[in-house]
C-alpha cells in the first residue's frame, strides 16, 4: 500500500526540484567570468543525462555514446560550414534527428547482443564514425577541425557572446531544462517503468509479454537524440568542432561522471558533472601539472566507499539518520 502511493506520488514535482535551476541562474549572475566553464558543465550534464537513460534506466551498457554526441556536433558544424545554415535552434533539431537516426539504425543491430559483445560493438560504432570523420577531412576538417563557425542570434534576439559566453550559458541552460523535462516525464511514465523492469529482470519482462527489444531500441534512440543535442550545443557554444568529440575519452569521461554522481537517478548526471568538472577545474588551475593525481585519488575513494556515487552517500546518511530516529 505504502509502495503503491509512493509510486503514484513520485512523478509529482517537489519543491526542491527548483533548486538546481535557481542555483544555475544564480551562478550566471555570481560568476560572469566563468560562464565558458559553466556552459561546458551544462553540456556535460545533458550528455550524462542522455547516457543515464540507457545505462541507468534501461541497463544498456555502452562505451560508444560519444558517437551520438559527435554526430550532433558535426551535423551542426557541417550545416554551418557548407550550407551556411546558422540558425541555432533548427540546428539542434537537425542534430537530434541525425543522431537519433544513427541511434535507431545502430540500435536495431547492436541491441541484439548484450554484455561484453554490446560493449565492444558500441565502441566500434564510435570508432567507425571517428575514422569516417578523419577520412572525410574535406567535409569535417579532420583533426584540425572546423574553425571560426558562427551562428546567428538565438530566436533572432540573443547573439552568441564570443568572450563571456553569457548567451551560450543561458541557451544551454534552457535546452538542458527542456531535455530534462522530457527525460523526467519519460522515466516516470509506464514506458520508464518497463525500462527499469528490463534492467532488473529481463526474463520476467519477456514472460509478462513486454515488447523488450522495441522498448530498448526506443530508449536507445531517444538517448542518442539527446546526446546529439548536447553535441550540437557543444559546437554552437564553442564555434568549433574537431575529432575529439568522437573520442573514447569523451565516452569514458561521461560514464565516469555518471557513475560518480550515481546512475539510474534523475539528478545523478547533475551531481556527477558538477562534482567531477569542478574538482578537475579547480585542481588543474592550482596544480597544472599534477591535478590528475588529486582527481584520481578522489575517484578511487568514491569507487571504494560509495558504490552508488555521491548521491548514494547522501542516501545512506539519510537512512542512518532515519534508523537512529526510530
Partner 1 sequence: MNTKIWNRANALAAVAFAACSLISAGAIAQTVKLGVVLPYTGVGAEFGQQVDRGMQMFMKLNPAAFGPYKIEIIKRDSKNPSGAEAKVAVQELVAQEKVDLLTGFIYSPDAIASASLATEAKRPMVIMNAGTAWITTLSPMISRVSFSMWHAGHAMGEAAVKIVKAKTAVVGYTDFPPGKDSLDAFKRGFEANGGKVIDEIPMGGPGQVPDFTPFFQRAKDKKPDVFFVFVPAGDHAIGVMKTYGALGMRAAGIKLIGPGDITQDIKLQAMGDNAVGLITMHHYNADLANPVNKRLVEAWKKEYGPASTPDFMGVQGYDGMAAIAHVVTTLKGKIDPDAAINALRGWKYDSPRGPISIDPRTRDIVMNEYLSEIVKKDGRLYQKNIGVITAVKDMCKELGEGRCKQ
Contact set with partner 1 (CB under 8 A): 6, 10, 14, 16-17, 19-20, 23-24, 26-27, 30-34, 36-37, 40, 131, 134, 137, 142-145, 147-148, 162-165, 234, 238-242, 244-245, 247, 249, 262, 265-268, 270-271, 274-275, 278, 281-282, 284-286, 288-289, 291-292, 310-311, 314-315, 317-318
Q: Is the dihedral of CA 215, 246, 69, 81 positive or negative?
A: negative
Smaller CB separation from partner 1, 103 or 262: 262
Tell the residue number behind the cell numbers 551562428, with chain if given: 151
CB 200 within 8 A of CB 212: no
Whole-number minimum distance, CB 272 to partner 1, in Å? Answer: 10
Question: Which among 219, 258, 199, 255 has a CA at the least distance from the CA of 59?
Answer: 199
SS3 of residue 30 by DSSP: helix
Residue nearer to partner 1 on the CB measure, 211 or 296: 296
Least distance to partner 1, CB of residue 207, Å = 27
* Closest CB 150 distance from partner 1, rounded Å: 8
Beta carbon nearer to partner 1, 207 or 323? 323
Residue 114: CB minimum distance to partner 1, A: 28
Nearest distance from residue 191's CB to partner 1, in Å?
19
* Cβ-based neighbours of 167, under 8 Å, separated by 6 or more: 154, 158, 159, 160, 161
Minimum CB–partner distance for residue 36 and partner 1 (Å): 4
3-class state of residue 146 by DSSP: strand
Q: Which is nearer to partner 1, 3 or 116 (CB)?
A: 3
User: Closest CB to partner 1 among 6 and 190?
Assistant: 6
C-alpha cell at 201: 529482470
Q: Which of 235-262 are b and which e, b meaning 16 or more Cβ less than 10 Å from the residue's Cβ?
A: bbbbbebbbebbbeebbebbbbbbbbbb
Tell me whether residue 81 or residue 212 sits nearer to partner 1 (CB atom). 81
Side-chain half-sphere exposure of 286, counting CA atoms within 13 A: 11
Q: How far is the CB of 284 from partner 1 (least distance, A)?
A: 5
Would you say 56 and 267 are in contact if contact means Cβ atoms under 8 Å apart? no
Q: Which C-beta is closer to partner 1: that of 109 or that of 297?
A: 297
Amino acid at each position: 500500500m505504502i509502495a503503491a502511493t509512493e509510486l503514484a506520488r513520485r512523478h509529482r514535482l517537489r519543491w526542491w526540484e527548483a533548486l538546481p535551476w535557481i542555483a544555475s541562474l544564480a551562478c550566471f549572475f555570481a560568476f560572469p567570468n566563468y560562464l565558458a566553464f559553466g556552459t561546458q558543465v551544462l553540456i556535460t550534464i545533458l550528455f550524462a543525462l542522455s547516457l543515464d537513460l540507457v545505462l541507468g534506466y534501461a541497463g544498456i551498457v555502452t562505451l560508444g555514446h560519444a558517437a551520438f554526441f559527435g554526430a550532433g556536433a558535426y551535423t551542426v558544424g557541417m550545416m554551418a560550414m557548407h550550407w551556411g545554415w546558422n540558425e541555432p535552434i533548427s540546428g539542434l533539431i537537425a542534430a537530434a534527428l541525425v543522431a537519433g537516426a544513427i541511434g535507431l539504425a545502430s540500435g536495431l543491430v547492436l541491441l541484439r547482443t548484450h554484455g561484453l559483445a554490446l560493449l565492444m560493438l558500441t565502441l566500434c560504432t564510435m570508432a567507425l564514425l571517428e575514422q569516417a570523420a578523419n577520412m572525410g577531412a574535406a567535409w569535417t576538417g579532420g583533426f584540425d577541425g572546423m574553425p571560426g563557425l558562427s551562428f546567428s542570434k538565438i530566436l533572432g534576439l540573443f547573439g552568441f557572446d564570443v568572450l563571456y559566453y553569457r548567451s551560450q550559458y543561458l541557451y544551454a541552460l534552457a535546452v538542458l531544462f527542456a531535455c530534462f523535462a522530457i527525460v523526467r516525464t519519460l522515466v516516470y511514465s509506464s514506458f520508464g517503468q518497463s525500462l527499469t523492469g528490463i534492467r532488473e529482470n529481463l526474463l520476467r519482462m519477456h514472460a509478462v509479454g513486454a515488447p523488450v527489444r522495441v522498448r530498448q531500441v526506443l530508449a536507445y534512440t531517444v538517448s542518442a537524440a539527446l546526446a546529439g543535442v548536447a553535441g550540437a550545443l557543444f559546437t554552437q557554444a564553442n564555434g568549433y568542432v574537431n575529432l575529439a568529440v568522437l573520442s573514447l575519452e569523451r565516452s569514458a569521461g561521461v560514464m565516469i561522471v555518471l557513475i560518480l554522481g550515481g546512475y539510474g537517478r534523475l539528478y545523478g548526471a547533475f551531481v556527477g558533472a558538477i562534482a567531477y568538472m569542478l574538482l578537475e577545474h579547480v585542481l588543474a588551475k592550482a596544480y597544472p601539472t599534477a591535478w590528475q593525481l588529486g582527481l584520481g585519488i578522489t575517484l578511487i575513494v568514491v569507487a571504494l566507499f560509495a558504490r552508488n556515487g555521491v548521491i548514494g552517500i547522501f542516501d545512506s546518511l539519510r537512512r542512518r539518520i532515519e534508523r537512529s530516529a526510530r
